[in-house]
Amino acid sequence: MKIIAIMGSPKGKGSGYKIVKMIEDRMIAMGSVEFEYIFLKDANLKPCIGCYNCMARGEDKCPLKDDRAAIEQKLLASDGFILSSPVYMGSVSGLMKNFIDRFAYLSHRPRFHRQKMLAVVNTSITGKKGTLSTLKIALGHDRGTRIVHELAIATPPWSQTERAVAEKEQAINVAAKKFYLSCLDTSLPSPTFNSYMDFLVMQKFSLECRQYMPADYTFYNGKVYYFDMKVNPIKAAAAKAIVGIYIYMMKDMGPGNVSWPATKKEEK
């Protein structure tokens, strides 16, 4: 089993690394497991420049020449991945935020359907929930990848009580076991009704916005779901009816004929 651990601390081997290492040790004790660490502080991943090319025209149109595509290939070849970040001002570290931004196109065009994900947050005290929720929208998990488990551990710079340490050890054991067992299953997930509806909404928007988001249009055009599968016709009809109402209610979010704010040309 191959696991990629994406490490978001600028310290590299700080408290977050120690936690992920404990998970690795426990998983290795369960079976044949190989970990590969990608320390974002050392990775060749440039800051997102906000050109929106990856989203609109395709990730191959990203002007930044670095290891983004190679990292995606590593993740695709894995059975699961860990995203580890310390809490910085209530959210992920800047390094992890850039990592998430550089793969933002996956929220439009998800592809990690077989891989499992474990989100690991460490903090002195606060910000566990908010940081986990940011990690959980990374890499298109909401549309494809299944979150298996989340782990938030306090790592304050002072010694802790025996009970607090026992609770952390127990939480790490549970996370490692759950993650290991889920990574053994390499089958494609059965779509839930909600994820199917979500797919249909994205497909419809990609059609409406094809002029602005051609990469999405190409991705969704002609698909029944993100991957080949049989859809129960009754479920499909129910989902399409609900999505039709939803799209109607959201019609002001789609393209119209007023450009706003005014373009540079119109301002003159």
Binding of ligand FMN at residue 15 (CB under 6 A)?
yes
d(CA 146, CA 182): 10
Residues 6+ apart with CB under 8 A from 27: 1, 3, 33, 35, 176, 179, 180
Binding of ligand FMN at residue 232 (CB under 6 A)?
no
Among 51, 73, 77, 124, interactor with ligand FMN by CB under 6 A: 124
Nearer to ligand FMN, 123 or 134 (CB): 123
Q: Find the shortest distance in angstroms from Cβ 41 to ligand FMN.
A: 10
Binding of ligand FMN at residue 14 (CB under 6 A)?
yes
Q: Find the shortest distance in angstroms from Cβ 67 to ligand FMN.
A: 22
Binding of ligand FMN at residue 130 (CB under 6 A)?
no
Binding of ligand FMN at residue 145 (CB under 6 A)?
no
Q: Three-state secondary structure along the chain?
A: CEEEEEECCCCCCCHHHHHHHHHHHHHHHHCCCEEEEEECCCCCCCCCCCCCHHHHCCHHHCCCCCCHHHHHHHHHCCCEEEEEEECECCECCHHHHHHHHHCCHHHHCCCCCCCEEEEEEEECCCCHHHHHHHHHCHHHCCCCCEEEEEEEEECCCCCCCHHHHHHHHHHHHHHHHHHHHHHHCCCCCCCCHHHHHHHHHHHHHHHHCCCCCHHHHHHHCCCCCCCCCCCCHHHHHHHHHHHHHHHHHCHHHCCCCCCCCCCHHHHC
Binding of ligand FMN at residue 126 (CB under 6 A)?
yes
Given the rule CB under 6 A, which of 68-76, 121-129, 208-216, 224-232 is the region that contacts ligand FMN?
Answer: 121-129
Nearer to ligand FMN, 8 or 144 (CB): 8
Binding of ligand FMN at residue 9 (CB under 6 A)?
yes
Q: Find the shortest distance in angstroms from Cβ 70 to ligand FMN.
A: 24
Task: State which residue has the least CB distance to ligand FMN.
Answer: 14
Binding of ligand FMN at residue 221 (CB under 6 A)?
no
Residues 79-118 that bind ligand FMN (CB under 6 A): 86-90
Q: Find the shortest distance in angstroms from Cβ 155 to ligand FMN.
A: 4
Q: Find the shortest distance in angstroms from Cβ 9 to ligand FMN.
A: 3
Q: Which residues bind ligand FMN (CB under 6 A)?
A: 9, 11, 14-16, 86-90, 122-127, 155
